[in-house]
Amino acid sequence: MRDNGQPLPVAAADPMHVHPVAIRKMSWETDDTFSLQLDLREFGESFHFRPGQFNMLYVFGVGESAISICSDPAKPKSLVHTIHRVGTVTSALAHMKRGDVIGIRGPSGSFWPVDPAVGKDVCIIAGGIGLAPLRPLLYSLLRNRKSYGRIVIMYGARTPLDLLYRVELEEWRKLENVEVLVTVDRGDSSWKGHIGVVTSLFSYLKLDSRSTIAYVCGPEMMMKFTLEELERRGIAEHQIYLSMERNMKCAVGFCGHCQFGPTFICKDGPVFMLPHVRQLLDRKEL
Ligand SMILES: Cc1cc2nc3c(=O)[nH]c(=O)nc-3n(C[C@H](O)[C@H](O)[C@H](O)COP(=O)(O)OP(=O)(O)OC[C@H]3O[C@@H](n4cnc5c(N)ncnc54)[C@H](O)[C@@H]3O)c2cc1C
């Protein structure tokens, strides 16, 4: 698949090889979500990724987690991951500071294809941490802005304090022919914006069903309702891409942990065109 002339992803020769990398910067995005910028100088020119791909981040002596790359693919040496602290590995990562060393394996998995969106409108729909893997896609689209029509970003978080990348959301909002719609499940006294689940934002939009490509990432329940809404608006299933961020272990299709029939989420996904994973959405992960 072509991808707007971007370099092909280049992973380590051995996908099981863990590369030690130092943390260049650690910053908190919200109370429970932080970003780690990694120092990839050791990789020289050899590390490239595409929007939607992920790395396995390894805390030595603790374990490994799949985490999407959320930085600009055009700047592969400044690699950023935004991480929601939920359990063992992500809590250990949350204790990291500048100069600490972690391991990475990657980049792994499929990516958001941008070619189908050339000459079309784009609708990016994110829930919670799902905005992280969509951010590199947005950087790519904006870098080749003239190739695409209208860009709509719909983003929902639990509360105003859970919103990621607030400064950038405001910057994107100012761009011509870019619409940013933000909602929260629960407001607070300072919140003047929309309250409701992300699908409630559809009532503010009129999408051109024949000319819109949609990219969706978030909790599976949010994605299910979003897909229903997109299809109700006439967007065909081959115009919809989603990322299935299910629990996985080896990330290279060896262990079968994320296997559903012939499909391995880790190597065939996480990004899929809707018809390829529709049945998976009705099946709980193991
Ligand atoms: C392709 C991919 C990309 C991802 N990108 C990101 C990202 O950019 N940022 C981010 O914060 N997280 C991301 N995740 C989720 C992340 O991998 C898990 O949250 C993490 O592995 C949890 O590890 P832990 O040791 O902290 O939690 P554990 O102690 O293993 O588990 C804590 C709880 O989280 C649940 N859990 C673990 N992994 C997942 C998962 N994948 N989905 C749902 N529930 C899970 C467990 O069942 C348990 O209930 C991604 C997952 C995948 C598969």
DSSP string, 4-60: TTPPPPB--SSTTPPEEEEEEEEEESSSSEEEEEEE-GGGTT--B--TT-EEEEEET
CA of 13 to the centre of ligand 1 (A): 25
Atom of ligand 1 nearest to the CA of 84: 11
HSE of 114, CA atoms in CB hemisphere, 13 A: 24
Interval 233-253: pLDDT, tens? 999 999 999 998 877 777 888
Could you tell me which of 183, 133, 166, 140 has the C-alpha nearest to residue 27? 166
Nearest CA to ligand 1 atom 31: 87
Atom of ligand 1 nearest to the CA of 248: 53
The confidence score (pLDDT) of residue 1 equals 42
Indicate whether residue 177 lines ligand 1 (CB < 6 A): no
Interval 163-189: pLDDT, tens? 999 999 999 999 999 999 999 999 999
The confidence score (pLDDT) of residue 45 equals 61
The confidence score (pLDDT) of residue 256 equals 77
Nearest CA to ligand 1 atom 8: 68
Low-confidence ranges of the chain (pLDDT < 50): 1-2, 4-5, 7, 286
Atom of ligand 1 nearest to the CA of 132: 8
The confidence score (pLDDT) of residue 116 equals 97
Atom of ligand 1 nearest to the CA of 62: 25
Indicate whether residue 260 lines ligand 1 (CB < 6 A): no
The confidence score (pLDDT) of residue 255 equals 77
Indicate whether residue 101 lines ligand 1 (CB < 6 A): no
Strand residues in 60-174 grouped as ranges (E): 63-68, 78-84, 101-108, 121-127, 151-157
Please choose from 29, 49, 71, 86 the residue to mutate so as to test ligand 1's pocket, defined by most ligand atoms within 8 A of CB.
86
